[in-house]
Amino acid sequence: MTPEQFRQVLAAQGLELSDHQMEQFAQYFEFLVETNKNLNLTAITAENDVYLKHFYDSLLPALTIKDLQTEKLTLCDVGAGAGFPSIPMKIAYPNLEVTIVDSLNKRINFLKELAAKLGLDGVTFYHARAEEFAGKRSEFRESFDVVTARAVARMSVLSELCLPLVKPNGRFIALKAQKTQEEMDNAQVAIKTLGGKVSADFESTLPETGDERHIVVIDKVAVTPKKYPRKAGTPAKQPLGEVSK
C-alpha cells in the first residue's frame, strides 16, 4: 500500500487526511526505519508494508468504532512498542488524549522524540510494567475511557494487563489477527473475573493481502477486584482461568 493508496482507502471509509497529516505519517515512517537500524522496533520496514500492516492496521479500531473519531476520550495504549496503534490513531484523530505505557525505556524515548518531531499534543509516556501501572495504589487504575493493545499477549493475559486500567463503563479494545476465537474461549474466565464483558468482535481483512483482523471490544461492567493485576510476570506465567498443561 503506497502512501497515496493509504490516503485513498481511508478517504473511501470517510477519513480524509490533510496534507499535514500525510506529512506526519511520512515523518513517522522515516524516523521508524532510521531508528530501527539501532533499536529493534519492528521487522516490517518496507514503506508499502509499514503503511498497510502498521499504519492502516492501527487505524482499524477508530474506523470501526465511530465515537473514537469525534469524542475527547482518554486512551491508554499498553505495550505500544513503536507506537501502534495509538500514534497513528492520534495523528488521524487529534481529539484523543493518549497515554502510552511500555516496559522498555528505549522505546519510550523513541516515542517521546517521535511525538516531538510530529508536533503531537495530548500524548504522555510512561516507562512501566503494565502490572505496576495498573496496581491497586496506582493513580491510573480504572481511569481511562479506552485501553488498547496490539500484538502484546494472548487475551487471557492481556485482560489482566488492560482491564484494571479501564474505568467502569469504559472499554478495552484488543487488536487481534487469526485464532481469535480460540483465544477468546480461553479468556472467558479472566474477562469475567476482571469485570469485563465481551460486547463485539469486528472481523475484517487488510486490503491487498486479505490478512484476517479482529477488533475485540470488551466493556467494563464491574470494578476489577483489588488483587488484580497480580505482580509483574505472574499473568503471563499463570493466566487466569487457563488450565495448565
Side chain identity at 173, as an amino acid letter? I
What phi and psi values does residue 86 have, to the nearest 5 degrees?
-70, -40
Dump the DSSP string for 201-223: EEEEE-TTT--EEEEEEEEE-SP
- Consult the annotation and say whether 196 binds a ligand: no
Known binding residue 150? Answer is yes
Rounded to whole angstroms, how far apart are CA atoms 162 and 129?
Answer: 11
Residue 195 marked in a binding site: no
130 is known to lie in a ligand binding site: yes
Q: Which three cell numbers stand for residue 121?
A: 499534543
Question: Count H helices, E strands: the chain?
Answer: 11, 7
What are the cell numbers at 38? 539501532
84 is in an annotated binding site: yes
- The SS3 of residue 2 is coil
Residue 60 to residue 75: CA distance in whole angstroms: 15
Q: Extract the annotated binding site.
A: 79, 84, 130-131, 150
Q: Extract the annotated binding site for S-adenosyl-L-methionine.
A: 79, 84, 130-131, 150
